[in-house]
Structures are given as C-alpha cells and as structure tokens.
Amino acid sequence: MTAAGAATPSLVERPRAASSALRVALVGNPNTGKSTLFNALTGLRQRVANFPGVTVEHAEGTYFHGATPVSVLDLPGTYALSPQSPDEAIALDVLRGDAAGIPTADVIVVVVDAANLERNLLFAAQVLELGRPTVIALNRMDRVASEGTRIDVPELIHELGAVIVPVSATRREGIDRLRHAISRASTLPAPPARGWLRGEVGVERGYAWIDGVVERCVARGAGSRRTTSDRVDAVLLHRVWGPLVFIGILLAAFQAMFTAARPIADGIDSLVALGGATLLRALPAGDLRSLLVDGVLAGVGSVLVFLPQIAILFLFIGLLEDSGYMARAAFAVDRYVRPFGLQGRSFIPLVSGYACAVPGIMATRTIQQREERLATIMVVPLMSCSARLPVYALLIAAFVPAVRVGGIVGLQSVTLLAMYLLGTVAALGMAAIFRRTLLRSDTRALIMELPPYSVPSARVLLASVWQRVRIFLRRAGTVILAISVLLWALAHYPRAESPATPTAEQRLAASALGRVGQAIEPAVRPLGYDWKIGVSMIASFAAREVFVSTMGTIYSASTDDGSRALARRLRGERDPRSGHAVYTPLVAVGLMVFYVFALMCTSTVAITVRETGGGWRGVGWAALQFGYMLALAYGAALLVYRAGLALGLGGAG
Amino acid sequence: MTADVQRWLALAVVLGAGVYLSWRGWRAARVARAARTGCGRGPGCGCE
C-alpha cells in the first residue's frame, strides 16, 4: 500500500470567500462506512432532515477547512446510478444537481470500501462519468492492511483518473488529507467521461474493466483475521445459540435501561421537582403559576425523565449495527421467521423498529419482492419503538416491584422484555396472516453480505446517540410542550361553579377535558380504565409519549399536592365513587398491552402512505395498518383485563 | 403579579401554543399531501 499522493501537487489552491460554504455530497454503496466517515469529517456539527417533500432522510454537517466552511451532505447508500428505489433516485438527483431545494454540490466524495473493491468500483466509476469534481475516499484501509492485502493506490489513481485518498474512518486516519483533497477538488478539471458505462451493456463492460483494475492494483493477503471472525460467526449464526444470544443482548439492554439510567433519571426528576418548588415560591397563586407548574413542568418533565433510557436504547442499537452484529442477527433468525412468510432481510427493518418505525419502514427498501416488503411495512410498527418506552417505563416503575428473578435479572427488565417480545411475536403472527391472505407469494432465499466485525468507534456512537437525544429534546420542547399547555387549559376551563370552593378533582371533572373524558368513558370502561386514562390515550394519538405528559398534566391538576412523582400519584389514585384503586397491576399490564399494539404515531402513518406507493393506494394501506393495529390493541387489552378478572388477579385493588 | 395579569399571561401562552400546533398541523398536512401525490412543492403548485 502506498500513501496516496492525494491530489495533483502542481495545483494552485484558489481560496474561497469565507462566507460561501463549499458544498460536498458524500455518496457510496451501503456498508462502506459512509456514515462513519461523515461523522469523522463533521464531528457533532450535523443535523438530520428530510429532503424537501419526501421522507428520505439525510444528514448534513459542517466543518471548517482553514477559514472555509465546508458543508457535507450524507446521501442515502446507493448501489448504482440507475435508480431502483426512491432513496437511490434522490441520491442521483442530488449528484446531478436536479434535486429541488438542494443546491448543487461543488465536490462529490465517493466512499469506497477498500476491502470490497470489486463491488464498489462500478459505482465510483459511474459517479466519475458525471464529469463533476470528485474525490474517492478509499475507506477501511486499516482492515485491508491487517489482512495483509496491498493496494497500489498510485496505480489505482492512474486507472481511474481521479483523486483517491486512503482513509480509515473508524481510526480517523487520513481525514485531514481527505479534507485537503476536498478543498482542492473543486479547482481541478473534471475527470473525462468515458461514456461506456451507461445501460445494461455498460454495466457488464464495467465489471470486466473492474476485474482488470483489481488484478493490476490489488495483491491479496492471507486474511488471517477471517478465522477469528468465522469462529465468532459459528456461535452467532448458530440455529440455537444465535437467537439466544440475541435475546440475551436485548435483556442486557433492558436491564441497563432500569439500572444504569436510574441515577440520571432521578437527577432529572429532582431538577423538575426543584423547578416546580422554585416557581411555587417565586409566583403568587394564579393561572400563570398553575400553567407553568401543572402544565409545562408536569407535562414536559414527566417525559424528560425517560431521556436516559432512550439514550441507552440508541446506544445499544448503535453498538449492534456498528459492530456488524445486526446482519448476523438477521441470519440467525432467518430460519425462524421463514414460516411467517418473511426472511432474514425483513428482520433488519423489524429490529430498526425497536428504535423507531419510520427508519424501520424505510429500511424495507432493501426487500425486493413487493409482497414481502408490504407485509414487513404493515408489521414494523408492532415492534416496540422508543416512544413506547416512556409509557412502559412509567407503568412498570409504578406497578412492577423492583425485585430480582433468580437473584440475577430484575423483574422490571423481564417485564419490559416481555412487552418487546409480545410486539415481536405479534409482528410475526400478523406477517403470517398478511402473507397467507392479501400478500401471497413465495419467500425467497436470503442472500446477503455479512459486513466484517469491527470495534465501534465511541465517537461515532456518541454522535448518533446525541443526534437522537437532540430529536427527543426538540420534540419535548416543541410539540409536547405545546400539547401540555393546551391540555392544561382544557383541564382548567371552564371553572367549576359549584361548590364555592371545589376540590381539585371537582375542578377537573367540570373542565372541558373532564367532560370529554366522561363522554368517552363508556368506550374505555370495559378495559378497566377511567376517563383520565381515556383522555390520555386520545391525546397520544398524535405521539405515544404524549400519553405520559398528559397523565402528568391531568394528575397534577387533579391533586392539590403537586410534589409527588407521577408513578407514585398513579399508585395512590382512587376512584371517587368506589374508593378502589384506579390502577392495579392488571390495569397497568392491560394498558401496556394496548400500547404494544396500537399505532399512535402520525409520522408512521405518513411514511406508510409514501412507502406503499403513495396516492390513494398508499392511504388505503395506511388505513388498514392503523385499523388492524387499533382493533388488535383494543381486543388484546380487553382480553387481558377480562381474563385477569376471571382468574381473580384483582381488578378492584 | 396580580391574578388578572397571570390570567392574561396564561391566555397568551395558551394562544401561542394553539397557533404553534396549528402551524405544525398545516405542515404535517402538506407533507401528507406530498406523500400522497409525490410532489414536494407544496399546495397550489398545480401538479394535480
């Protein structure tokens, strides 16, 4: 391997005006370490957004090269410049400068996996054909070197006629050289277009050319690491150990959510309580004080407490993805999901659904067969996403005792695992139903590339966790805050006219929210819920976390003692008519089961419309998804409650 | 701060929240329309 003579040395760099940012588009095949390189280039200065008008997500970040701001756009992973899917079409539009609302990139950086040159070079050559200033980042050079493989970079530069910079994104090697090459690339003449890579014939000719290039530039090593990787794979892909390891990892994650997150969650809780006490002291009694304490703090605070748990969830998901384990998990479960009409490839969208259904549904684009893809889309929202976590965590903390099972695992984490498994089993069951009715077709064999194992970079992991935490905080500070304020108003007006000094409970019952709640109570009564739970459920149709903030606002308004944590208030809540506890463990389990199944997320509905073809057909699939999940949720919650009562598990408390 | 002042300030905050949520709803409807028609240019672009 030779260190790259990255750019032509005779070039004279033309400095840019400090105000105009150099725009860089980062492209490459999936699994080339593109996002890791993006993080290495831009650090934490990045944001995630959708392309205008479509729900294809992209990240944008900036860094400074000297005084020049450089804006980097991370485009969706693409196999070829002949778009097969919406995300590939977007990537191509951006590269050509045809994407509405996205300025043309000054420089294109193609990320190429040095360990997989044969597969990656075709796309790189196609991008060079566009005739735009291009830099090729030859990533994972550390792995190539450790396998004893040598790549003759100057020869490769000669073959491709392009600037090539060897880098190792995970080790942050070659990043400065890459930045330097990017800053100079816009001043270079564009690479000459060969014009022979277009169309099917071009692709075949391209592969023949690539075989020759690889033969001339690459000297293969013995690949001694492969044996270690094979040994690990023997366990992780084993038909029995594989799924067991996966469940063990999930259990460890849930255990961490309750133990490691506890001190930070307690800290946030104390801060919220301190804020409330300070406001109570600083302001005289009145509407504004009540709005700030019972509306804003009780609503937003009750959701914020779950921030550490959400961070841990994303840390685990990041670890699984970046270490190369996620693809192994897909293989390990392939044989188990096949009877349900799915294949291992569907498993990655399903596991992504543990974080959020939106990227999970977008990840189904890798499934080529229409029926299989639609079936996966229809069931992804049954996987318990991070927005359900606050609901589960609140109810588990309130009603499941913090004892250890067998002295090792906490009962609370086992309950949480049970909720996740219930969602997963339901997703598989519903997939089987869809695949045997509306979406019948043969299930294809699973052929997919296993990415090499790698030690996840702490920096990259923390950056992705921080990104998700920021999204959660933004939601808490915008939509959840606004809904909490409106709910406070609905829970306080109109005022009770009698008696002269009404109790908090009487005030709430006379309010608009109380009246709506009582009107819908007959619908939720069979499930064992009172009207307060019913109102919280209706409010959470916008987003599931709103259930917790609504409960926070309602219970803050219904008690004169605003200092108790929400979980404790739920435990102490009594039915004013019967005097019985409103929340029993049975009601709590029924409520959790409802949230396992219910699709209460407007973003998921929107993405389903789009990903199932858009138009009225997309609306139809989304309506079917929403309807069957709501029916399932109501039916399952009813079954749990009624069966629990019949078994004497105590509805009255 | 008198009770009247508090009431007016609370009303202003509630109205602000209402306006904000309406704007978010309008934006969500726009995105939903884009998802349905495949057009991202917003209402009134004439693509329908």
Q: Is A53 on the interface with B (CB under 8 A)?
A: yes
pLDDT band at A431 (very low <50, low <70, confident <90, very high): very high
Three-state DSSP string of A580-629: CECCCHHHHHHHHHHHHHCCCEHHHHHHHHHHCCCHHHHHHHHHHHHHHH
Of the candidates B5, B9, B41, which has its C-beta nearest A100's C-beta? B41
Distance from CA of A486 to the nearest CA of B (A): 6
pLDDT band at A201 (very low <50, low <70, confident <90, very high): low
Give the per-residue pLDDT at A380.
94
Stretch among A78-82, A244-248, A475-479 having the lowest mean pLDDT:
A78-82
Q: Is B27 on the interface with A (CB under 8 A)?
A: no
Distance from CA of A494 to the nearest CA of B (A): 13
Give the per-residue pLDDT at A49.
47
Higher pLDDT, A178 or A337: A178
Q: Is A282 on the interface with B (CB under 8 A)?
A: no
First-last CA distance in chain B = 54
Q: Is B22 on the interface with A (CB under 8 A)?
A: no
Distance from CA of B8 to the nearest CA of A (A): 8
Give the per-residue pLDDT at B10.
93
ipTM over 0.90: no
Residue A652 has pLDDT above 50, yes or no: no
- Span A255-272, average pLDDT: 83
Distance from CA of B26 to the nearest CA of A (A): 13
Q: Edge-to-edge strand order for the sheet containing A134-139?
A: A46-50, A57-65, A68-74, A22-28, A107-113, A134-139, A163-166
Q: Is B14 on the interface with A (CB under 8 A)?
A: yes
pLDDT band at A412 (very low <50, low <70, confident <90, very high): confident
- Closest by Cα among A429, A438, A358, A353 to A605: A358
Q: Using only C-alpha atoms, what is the Rg of chain A?
A: 28
Q: Is A512 on the interface with B (CB under 8 A)?
A: no
Which 8-state DSSP code applies to residue A226?
A: H
Size of interface A-B (CB pairs under 8 A): 91
Residue A351 has pLDDT above 70, yes or no: yes
Q: Is B24 on the interface with A (CB under 8 A)?
A: yes
Give the per-residue pLDDT at A81.
72
Query: Residue A569 and residue A532: Cα distance in Å, rounded?
Result: 13
**CB contacts, 8 Å: A288 with chain B:** 1, 5-7, 9-10, 13
**CB contacts, 8 Å: A479 with chain B:** 21, 24
Q: Is A406 on the interface with B (CB under 8 A)?
A: no
pLDDT band at A101 (very low <50, low <70, confident <90, very high): low
First-last CA distance in chain A = 73
Q: Is A271 on the interface with B (CB under 8 A)?
A: no
**pLDDT tens string A519-529:** 988 999 999 88
pLDDT band at A355 (very low <50, low <70, confident <90, very high): confident
Instruction: Tell me the two tokens of residue A114.
Output: 């040095």
- Span A159-188, average pLDDT: 87
Pairing of strands A134-139, A150-151: unpaired
Give the per-residue pLDDT at A227.
64
Query: Residue A142 and residue A115: Cα distance in Å, rounded?
Result: 10
Higher pLDDT, A256 or A17: A256
- Span A37-47, average pLDDT: 74
pLDDT band at A381 (very low <50, low <70, confident <90, very high): very high
Q: What is the mean pLDDT of chain A?
A: 80
Residue A593 has pLDDT above 90, yes or no: yes
Q: Using only C-alpha atoms, what is the Rg of chain B?
A: 18
- Span A469-488, average pLDDT: 86
Give the per-residue pLDDT at A55.
39
Higher pLDDT, A435 or B25: A435
Give the per-residue pLDDT at A559.
57
Q: Which of A485, A492, A513, A604 to mutate to test the interface with B (most CBs of B within 10 A)?
A: A485
- The H or E element that residue A65 is part of is strand A57-65
Q: pLDDT exceeding 90 applies to what percent of chain A?
A: 17
- Span A549-578, average pLDDT: 72
Distance from CA of A413 to the nearest CA of B (A): 36
Give the per-residue pLDDT at A331.
79
Residue A114 has pLDDT above 60, yes or no: yes
Stretch among A184-188, A296-300, A424-428 having the lowest mean pLDDT:
A184-188
- Span A15-27, average pLDDT: 71
Residue A427 has pLDDT above 90, yes or no: yes
Give the per-residue pLDDT at A621.
94
Of the candidates B6, B16, B41, which has its C-beta nearest A288's C-beta? B6
Give the per-residue pLDDT at A5.
36
**CB contacts, 8 Å: A289 with chain B:** 6
Q: List chain B pLDDT tens, one digit each, 48 residues.
A: 788 999 999 999 999 999 998 998 888 777 767 666 655 554 455 554
- Residues 588-607, chain A: which have Cβ within 8 Å of B? 602, 606-607
Q: Is A477 on the interface with B (CB under 8 A)?
A: no
Q: Do A486 and B14 touch (CB under 8 A)?
A: yes
Distance from CA of A257 to the nearest CA of B (A): 32
Give the per-residue pLDDT at A600.
82
Residue A226 has pLDDT above 60, yes or no: no
Query: Residue A305 and residue A394: Cα distance in Å, rounded?
Result: 10
Instruction: Tell me the two tokens of residue A140.
Output: 């994972």
Stretch among A209-218, A235-244, A479-488, A555-564 having the lowest mean pLDDT:
A555-564
pLDDT band at A574 (very low <50, low <70, confident <90, very high): confident
Higher pLDDT, A261 or A57: A261
Higher pLDDT, A76 or A643: A643
**CB contacts, 8 Å: A626 with chain B:** none
Give the per-residue pLDDT at A650.
67
Distance from CA of B28 to the nearest CA of A (A): 9
Nearest CA in chain B to A622: B36
- Span A195-209, average pLDDT: 63
Residue A173 has pLDDT above 50, yes or no: yes
Residue A291 has pLDDT above 60, yes or no: yes
Of the candidates A287, A610, A619, which has its C-beta nearest B7's C-beta? A287
Q: What is the DSSP string of A339-400?
A: GGT--HHHHHHHHHTTT-HHHHHHGGGG--SHHHHHHHHHHGGGS--TTTHHHHHHHHHHHS
